[in-house]
Amino acid sequence: MKQRIIWIGAVALLWVVGLAGGLPAARAQSQTLCTAQAIVQPGDTLSTVATRYFGQPSSYTAIVTATNAAAAMDSSYATIADPDILAVGWKLCIPATSAAGPALVATPTPTATPTPAGTPTPTPTPLPADRHPLAIPQMRRASYPGSDLVVEQTLDPGVNYSRTIVSYRSEGNKIYALLTAPLGEKPATGWPVVIFNHGYIPPDQYRTTERYVAYVDAFARNGYLVLRSDYRGHGFSEGEATGGYGSPDYTVDVLNAVSAIKRYPDADPNRIGMWGHSMGGQITLRAMVVTGDIKAGVIWAGVVGSYPDLLENWRRRPSTIPPTVTSRQRRWREELTSQYGSPAENPEFWAMISPNSYLADLSGPIQLHHGTADSSVPVEFSTTLESEIETAGGTVELFLYEGDDHNIAANLGTALTRSVAFFDRYVKNAPSTP
């Protein structure tokens, strides 16, 4: 409250000064409020701008507050009504410190006047490799507080479990999720948990209760509390669907889901596993080298190659690319190489954004499943990851399904049985200890 009063007082004082001194004086006052000005570039979000200047995405609220205060005195600044909506060319006010207190970590050249029409927008200076939002060191520095789960809708129950639509918060966005909970008396420490990370589904077609029904059922009926996050921008969840590879956003949503389920009274916060399919496999692998909360992971047909491998050896055939995939979701290769160079030119950067570089830090064992006839994700991603985990000293299992597809449809029952057994061994029957 004290901070808010100070901001309001500052705005009021500067507004009065502006009336007395005219527009030039107001602009001078606004520039004392702003340590730097940032011009919104294509692909920017408030979280990425906050990371660029303060080293953490959660500091975006300080930029919103400062920019709106500056806009009250100087019309060249943007007015931010919705933090999820930015327009290219907007001028943002960067205050001296974020709400959390760290000083600026980047010093891009301030831009005092709008770019004239027809002039190319200057390319921003890239962040240091370890400060990029995708970099594992940067993700480890960030916090993922989650929130309490809020019941939004009660659904018809399953065979021996309840089904509800819940919501939680992730970087200010309201994220919906499907929650299943076993019926009956819960264990003394709470039910073991499976965080369920779905693969790519067109965000505008996604519905919380659709797809993966048999998969969720297999874990739910075997005594697991299952939480399946929609991810931001999917279905009715807030935020922008930025894709699973060029942005950490979906992993951030999942890490906040982990924090949310740890607060849930019926969950055992010390017995949490994670399942991921396709894109969800990349999210699972990334999450397991960022947090130590995941006791075991199961990945089906995972996009689990290193980033150099994804860049150079993964080009999906046009017939397998959903028509609703946006250019922003697909252009991450071009954006990263234009800013940081190729893997040969800048191996440090590409290693830092690859979970595969941190496999010695995996939070638990991993089980891999892949069909040999998968036309969407190369089976070599899984076989290579198996070797990498073994080399790093980790525990890994790999099951290949001859002639099977991306969904392991012909061997679905077998793969689910193996997945449940793996979670039983490393999650359900593991000691409930931090």
pLDDT grade for 315, boundaries at 50, 70 and 90: low
Instruction: Report pLDDT digits (tens) over 82-102.
Output: 676 667 677 899 998 765 444
- Rounded to two decimals, what is the model's pTM? 0.72
Spans of all domains in the chain? 34-95, 129-315+328-427
Residue 42 C-alpha from the chain's centroid: 19
pLDDT score of 122 = 54
H or E segment and range at residue 347: helix 347-352
Other C-beta atoms within 10 Å of 341: how many?
A: 14
Q: What is the DSSP string of 14-65?
A: HHHHHHHH-HHHHHHHHHHH-SEEEEPPTT--HHHHHHHHHS-GGGHHHHHH
Summarize the confidence of residues 31-37 as an average pLDDT: 78
The CATH number, out of the four listed (3.40.50.300, 3.30.565.10, 3.10.350.10, 3.40.350.10), of the domain defined by the range 34-95: 3.10.350.10
Answer for the pair 338, 268: CB distance below 8 angstroms, yes or no.
no
Instruction: Report pLDDT digits (tens) over 267-300.
Output: 999 999 999 999 999 999 999 999 999 999 999 9
Instruction: Report pLDDT digits (tens) over 200-250.
Output: 999 989 999 999 999 999 999 999 999 999 999 999 999 999 999 999 999
Token couple for 74: 């100087």
Q: Tell me how far CA of residue 222 lies from CA of 52, 129, 186, 217, 381, in angstroms.
A: 45, 43, 13, 8, 30
CATH number of 129-315+328-427: 3.40.50.1820
pLDDT score of 266 = 98
Helices then strands, counting H and E runs in the chain, come out as 14, 11
What is the rounded average pLDDT for all residues in the chain? Answer: 85
Could you give the CA distance from residue 230 to residue 249 in angstroms, rounded to a whole number? 12
pLDDT score of 348 = 96
Which 3 state secondary structure label does DSSP give 137? helix
Could you give the CA distance from residue 45 to residue 38 in angstroms, rounded to a whole number? 12
Helical pair 60-71 and 2-21, crossing angle rounded to 10 deg: 30
Question: Does residue 168 have a pLDDT over 60?
Answer: yes
Could you give the CA distance from residue 291 to residue 355 in angstroms, rounded to a whole number? 12
pLDDT grade for 103, boundaries at 50, 70 and 90: very low
Answer for the pair 262, 285: CB distance below 8 angstroms, yes or no.
no
Q: Do domains 34-95 and 129-315+328-427 have the same CATH topology?
A: no
Could you give the CA distance from residue 225 to residue 308 in angstroms, rounded to a whole number? 36
pLDDT score of 314 = 84
H or E segment and range at residue 170: strand 161-170
- Phi, psi at 423, each rounded to 5°: -65, -35
The DSSP secondary-structure symbol of 426 reads I
Instruction: Report pLDDT digits (tens) over 395-408.
Output: 999 999 999 999 99
Could you give the CA distance from residue 29 to residue 24 in angstroms, rounded to a whole number? 9
Summarize the confidence of residues 340-347 as an average pLDDT: 94
pLDDT score of 432 = 82
Which 3 state secondary structure label does DSSP give 143? coil
